[in-house]
Amino acid sequence: MTIDAQLVLAVKFLAIILKVPRYVITEHLLQVGSYHIVQALEDPEKRQELEKHLIEVHLLGSELQDDENILRLGGNKPIAG
């Protein structure tokens, strides 16, 4: 299993820009991501979309089709069909 190279570069870039160690950015991203996942679990449609995303993108390694749709999972906006 490998971590997406763009994600690694993004963490490095954010750490440089914000002048903090990479582990600080990584911890914050986990914190924010956890919040959004918990929010998605409260709505059956968002939970189903999250499960689909986790399987297709993170388990099977397919490319993410719509970044904005995934960001909406933890928010109050409806998911685009």
pLDDT > 70 in the chain, percent? 73
Position 60 pLDDT exceeds 90: no
pLDDT for 81: 46
* Residues contacting residue 40 through CB under 8 Å, at least 6 positions apart: 46, 47, 49, 50, 73, 74
Give the span between the Cα atoms of 1 and 30, in whole angstroms. 19
pLDDT for 64: 53
The DSSP line for 21-77 is -HHHHHHHHHHHHHHHHHHHHTSHHHHHHHHHHIIIIIIS-PPPS-HHHHHHTTSSS
For the question of whether the overall pTM of this predicted structure is more than 0.85, the answer is: no
Sequence spans of domains, the chain: 5-72
Position 1 pLDDT exceeds 60: no
Position 25 pLDDT exceeds 50: yes
Position 52 pLDDT exceeds 70: yes
